[in-house]
Amino acid sequence: MENENNKELDAFTDSTENNDDKEDAPEIEKVKDSQEELLLCEDKLQRVLADYQNLERRSKMDVTQKVTLKVNQLMLDFIGIYEDFIRAKSALTDEGADTEGLLGVIKNMETILSENNIKEIEAIGEIFNPKLHDAVSTVEDNLLEEGTITQEVAKGYISFQEVIKPSKVIVSKKK
Amino acid sequence: MAEKIIGIDLGTSNSAAAVIQGGKPTLIPAAEGTTVAGKAFPSIVAFSKDGDLLVGEPARRQAVTNPDNTIREAKRKMGTEFMYKIQGKEYKPQQISAFILQKIKRDAEAFTGDTINKAVITVPAYFNDNQRQATKDAGTIAGLEVVRIINEPTAASLAFGLDKNKEDMKILVFDLGGGTLDVTIMEMGGGVFEVMSTSGDTQLGGVDMDQAIKDYVIDEFRKKEGIDLSSNAQAAERVRESSEKAKIELSTVMETEINLPFIAQDSSGAKNLEIKLTRAKLDDLIHSIVQRCKPSIEKAIEDAKISISDITKIVLVGGPTRMPIVRKFVSNAVGKEAESGVDPMEAVAFGAAVQAGIIAGDVTSDIVLLDVTPLTLGIETLGGVREPIIERNTTIPTSKDKTFTTAADSQTAVTINVVQGERPMVADNVALGSFNLTEIPPAPRGVPQINVKFDIDANGIINVTAKDLGTGKDAKITIESSSKMSEDDVQKMKSDAEKFAEEDKKKKEEVDIKNEAESFIYTTEKLVSQDLKDKIPQEKGIKITDAIKELKESLTQGTDQIKLKLEALKTIVNEVTTELYKNATPPPGADQKSNQEQSSSGEQTTDEQKSDPENNEEQKSDPENNEEQKSDSEQKSENP
């Protein structure tokens, strides 16, 4: 666009070459001003476009982040109930009750977790990893390798690569 | 677009950061995600057994397994000489804070997609210069240019937009965190936030409230089922989680239920925990904890020397202030509604981001936001007296200077000892640093003019320059974080300042009168042995010598004795000089000159001293002490 303007300016200059320079001067100035204004507008336009693209990218990211956060929160609430069902199964099994139907419910719940790529974090017997586990206390044990998880106080979960809830654990420590 | 500057609330237990996006502050999430009820970045640093550095949430998670290599609350040690020894290496508190800032920088870059090189960091209002400098250093170590350090209550007020108010205000900032309470009274007028008083309790916070709720739930279950859940780690953890959830819910609803099925088991089968918790019950449970906040509010009001009705705005900061009972308590205590519209947990970080936005040009503000010096800055003068240069609550940035002189004849060097505090005697204040100005040309005491200039930049960092006005030679110091004043010490110093006001005044008087006596002895001896050697009658000379001797002896005794003997010597000297002038025939036009000499008692004064009678007193010294001063104070000049 800049080149086209220059051509226009050249053409304008050529066609008036025989005229008095003094008479041409204001016209040339006017064109120069317009040209500068145009450059400014172009620059502004480019910036606005860049801002818009940034905003678009940022908005997309914001939406993704917010949706992920909400889904994770919802899944954690769901996991709370899923864990209650596991406890119920355990208690009912101890009492010798029929848990077949309950097992079916649990299986369905596990399918939902799987569909959302939510996995339990391995804990008992693993070496403590602060990226996955949250230590609530230690227990002295000379037989185990230092830092071995001996008890899982609360289960932890991972969704894709993100830890949505670290598992709360008790860790071994040598005397 | 302007370079992004982030705002950081570098807290004792937890930190938070925010950045202006689309004209509004946005909280920066940690890479690990936000914690349930805490800020994004626990202020914890640890080194794993393999020497790996862990910062923030991962460091918190492993703390109980690795307590020796885990550092918490490094903020409390900022500005001190304390060194952390971890795995054979030593770390300064600012290095530990730098690890936290580095982590925040990294996560902020991931969040914004920009490189972050600049930050505004908040500090408590009572932080002294060393602590502020240490905070700034921590930023530098972390690769952040700290463009401004602002007070936490100032930041909170900014987040609530109080800087937009045109009228003067007195603001009470009530900051109840996880484990500490800080109450600050600030005055805002003409774009300046001035801290009037601070008080608090380092052992009071939201943790106590969570514990009270958890204890209640466990107690209720024990009463009903006879089972102690606290002995079962899994059950206790479930109770803790649900108590916290219930507490948060009760901020918006009047009643909630804690429902934990299969929480325990005994011979009769599985046990379920079902407890209804009402807001009234919650209020009842934490009532005593909330009431413990009252003395801190009262003390802040008392220290600010205002009445409670003078408070025009209340700003709440910290997670626990989200609870209606806490909000109501503060409103009732002050008799006004607290400001709303900003999450109290995020207020400080948001305010820091707003300040960052103003600096970066992302946020427009027609108010120039300024802070003030928290404590008086001065230098040591003769006799250990603190001479204030910049009074506390002076708006910064600022620059002030005073001119001093030497205490001894032919003194070629002076030591500028920079102190900070509210007490008149140097020993009761905190020494920030010292430096020497040397190569002063030998001259009689009182002749050299040494200009001491204090410059404080917008971050409250001090640069002190001493310049010999005769030669133009100068020396300077930028106060390093070398001093040793804890938060408690600052508070203690402030209360001591009031408590010991009378005692200090007496101590200062003692030093002043001693200085005056020593100076008068010096002047008189010079008068008798040199200036008027042949003009004083012998018996008068003996009288003066005796009076000098008596005055010298009295210097080791009490103030009253010194005053008495000084007056006696002055009377004799006056008699002699009056007699001399009576007998003298003044040459034409000499009247004025002789008057001048008499009025200045032969002493030389600088401009500053002429305008300040106190300095004249301090300038006096005595020949006996001169020897001592040459060795000890070669450097300890009088002023300085």
Q: Are residues A131 and A110 in the same domain?
A: no
Residue B365 lies in a domain: no
Q: Are residues A150 and A123 in the same domain?
A: yes
pTM: 0.63
A130–B contact, CB cutoff 8 A = yes
- Predicted confidence at residue B39, as pLDDT, reads 61
Pairing of strands B145-151, B118-123: parallel
How many Å apart are CA B512 and CA B406, to the nearest integer?
16
The closest alpha carbon to B466, from B456, B457, B476, B455, belongs to B476
Q: Are residues B327 and B226 in the same domain?
A: no
Look at residue B494 and tell me whether its pLDDT is greater than 50: no
How many Å apart are CA B175 and CA B206, to the nearest integer?
11
Residue B638 lies in a domain: no
Report the CATH number at residue B272.
Answer: 3.90.640.10
Of the residues B499, B532, B552, which one is the last residue of a structural domain?
B499
Look at residue B184 and tell me whether its pLDDT is greater than 50: yes
Of the residues A87, A116, A145, which one is the last residue of a structural domain?
A116
Q: Are residues B317 and B436 in the same domain?
A: no
Q: Are residues B409 and B493 in the same domain?
A: yes
Q: Are residues A31 and A109 in the same domain?
A: yes
Number of domains in chain A: 2
Pairing of strands A167-173, A133-140: parallel
Please state at what angle helix B559-583 crosses helix B538-554, rounded to 10 degrees.
Answer: 160
Contact A128 B62 (CB under 8 A): yes
Q: Are residues B460 and B436 in the same domain?
A: yes
**Which residue in the set B21, B234, B261 is minimally distant from A153, CB to CB?**
B234
B433, with CB counted inside 10 A (0-12, 13-18, 19+), is: buried
Q: Are residues A126 and A108 in the same domain?
A: no
Q: How confident is the model over B280-291, as a mean pLDDT?
A: 94
Q: Are residues A25 and A98 in the same domain?
A: yes
- Predicted confidence at residue A86, as pLDDT, reads 94
Q: Are residues A73 and A34 in the same domain?
A: yes
Report the CATH number at residue A133.
Answer: 2.30.22.10
Residue B367 lies in a domain: no
- Predicted confidence at residue B36, as pLDDT, reads 45
Q: Are residues A29 and A111 in the same domain?
A: yes
Average pLDDT score over chain A? 85
Q: Are residues A107 and A143 in the same domain?
A: no
Position with higher pLDDT, A7 vs A168: A168
Q: Are residues A134 and A106 in the same domain?
A: no
- Predicted confidence at residue B598, as pLDDT, reads 36
Q: Are residues A110 and A128 in the same domain?
A: no
Contact residues of B toward A, CB < 8 A: 21-22, 32-33, 48-49, 54, 58-65, 233-234, 237-238, 241, 261-262, 265, 269-270
Of the residues A116, A137, A156, which one is the last residue of a structural domain?
A116
> Band of the pLDDT at B498, cuts 50, 70, 90?
low
Task: Tell me the two tokens of residue B446.
Answer: 């009182």
Q: Are residues B590 and B550 in the same domain?
A: yes
Q: Are residues B46 and B165 in the same domain?
A: yes
Instruction: Write the DSSP string, B193-260.
Output: EEEEEEEEETT-SHHHHHHHHHHHHHHHHHHHH---GGGSHHHHHHHHHHHHHHHHHTTT-SEEEEEE
Contact yes or no for B639/B619 (Cβ under 8 A): yes
Look at residue B580 and tell me whether its pLDDT is greater than 70: yes
**Which residue in the set B33, B49, B234 is minimally distant from A162, CB to CB?**
B33
The closest alpha carbon to B70, from A132, A142, A135, A162, belongs to A135
Number of domains in chain B: 4
Which helix or strand (DSSP H or E) is residue B377 part of?
Answer: strand B377-381
Q: Is B175 a catalytic residue?
A: yes
Q: Are residues B575 and B475 in the same domain?
A: no
Contact B262 A133 (CB under 8 A): no
Look at residue B596 and tell me whether its pLDDT is greater than 50: no
Please state at what angle helix B206-225 crosses helix B279-291, rounded to 10 degrees.
Answer: 130
Residue B366 lies in a domain: no
B274 three-class SS: strand
Report the CATH number at residue B88.
Answer: 3.30.420.40
B454, with CB counted inside 10 A (0-12, 13-18, 19+), is: buried
Containing structural domain, residue A64: 1-116
Q: Are residues B171 and B23 in the same domain?
A: yes
How do residues B334-387 score in pLDDT, each as one tens digit? 999 999 889 999 999 999 999 998 888 777 654 445 566 767 889 998 888 889
Q: Are residues B356 and B466 in the same domain?
A: no
Of the residues A116, A151, A167, which one is the last residue of a structural domain?
A116
Task: Tell me the two tokens of residue B375.
Answer: 């404590």
Average pLDDT score over chain B? 81
Look at residue B480 and tell me whether its pLDDT is greater than 50: no
Q: Are residues B261 and B310 in the same domain?
A: no
Q: How confident is the model over B91-103, as a mean pLDDT?
A: 93
Q: Is B607 a catalytic residue?
A: no
> Band of the pLDDT at B38, cuts 50, 70, 90?
low
Residue B324 lies in a domain: yes
How do residues A58-108 score in pLDDT, each as one tens digit? 889 889 888 988 898 899 999 999 999 999 999 889 888 898 999 999 999
Look at residue A41 and tell me whether its pLDDT is greater than 70: yes
CA distance A171 to chain B (A): 7
Look at residue B525 and tell me whether its pLDDT is greater than 90: no
Report the CATH number at residue B458.
Answer: 2.60.34.10
- Predicted confidence at residue B605, as pLDDT, reads 32
Q: Are residues B428 and B491 in the same domain?
A: yes
3-class DSSP string for B538-605: HHHHHHHHHHHHHHHHHCCCCHHHHHHHHHHHHHHHHHHHHHHHHHCCCCCCCHHHHHHHHHCCCCCC
Report the range of poorest mean pLDDT among B190-194, B415-419, B439-443: B190-194
Q: Are residues A153 and A110 in the same domain?
A: no
Q: Are residues B140 and B245 in the same domain?
A: no
CA distance A134 to chain B (A): 4
**Which residue in the set B33, B241, B262 is minimally distant from A87, CB to CB?**
B262
Of the residues B272, B290, B308, which one is the last residue of a structural domain?
B290
Of the residues B254, B272, B290, which one is the last residue of a structural domain?
B290
Look at residue B18 and tell me whether its pLDDT is greater than 90: yes
Q: Are residues A54 and A135 in the same domain?
A: no
CA distance A164 to chain B (A): 8
Containing structural domain, residue B11: 5-204+292-360
